[in-house]
Amino acid sequence: DQQVKQNSPSLSVQEGRISILNCDYTNSMFDYFLWYKKYPAEGPTFLISISSIKDKNEDGRFTVFLNKSAKHLSLHIVPSQPGDSAVYFCAASSLQGGSEKLVFGKGTKLTVNP
């Protein structure tokens, strides 16, 4: 039973355009959401997070949007750069279950073409 789903295994965008990565979750107890970026042979790198009391969080080129009613979140990268090419993971946790117990999606491979 996959509680966090990233339905697009891959995404390709042109440099300078917007990249939108999507994530859906099923567990309504989740109240903390994170995005990680992963390059081959490296561990995941934390990008940005959002708690369920907010619907938007912004950090430079990265913005995360949370739609609790739809149980959906998205990561926007503007403008996209070739160095953003990596696998992006969405993760979620709940205070009740332990906020350190992250449940991950399977990832979306982003390719930014020059």
Partner 1 sequence: KAGVTQTPRYLIKTRGQQVTLSCSPISGHRSVSWYQQTPGQGLQFLFEYFSETQRNKGNFPGRFSGRQFSNSRSEMNVSTLELGDSALYLCASSEAGEYQPQHFGDGTRLSIL
Residue 49 CB burial class (10 angstroms; 0-12, 13-18, ≥19): middle
- Under rule CB under 8 A, residue 70 binds partner 1: no
Report the half-sphere exposure of 98 (CA within 13 A, side-chain side): 4
Pattern of binders to partner 1 over 91-110, x per CB under 8 A?
x---x-xxxxxxxxxxx---
Contact set for partner 1, span 37-56 (CB under 8 A): 41-46, 49, 51
Q: How far is the CB of 91 from partner 1 (least distance, A)?
A: 8
Q: Which two tokens stand for residue 106?
A: 């399977």
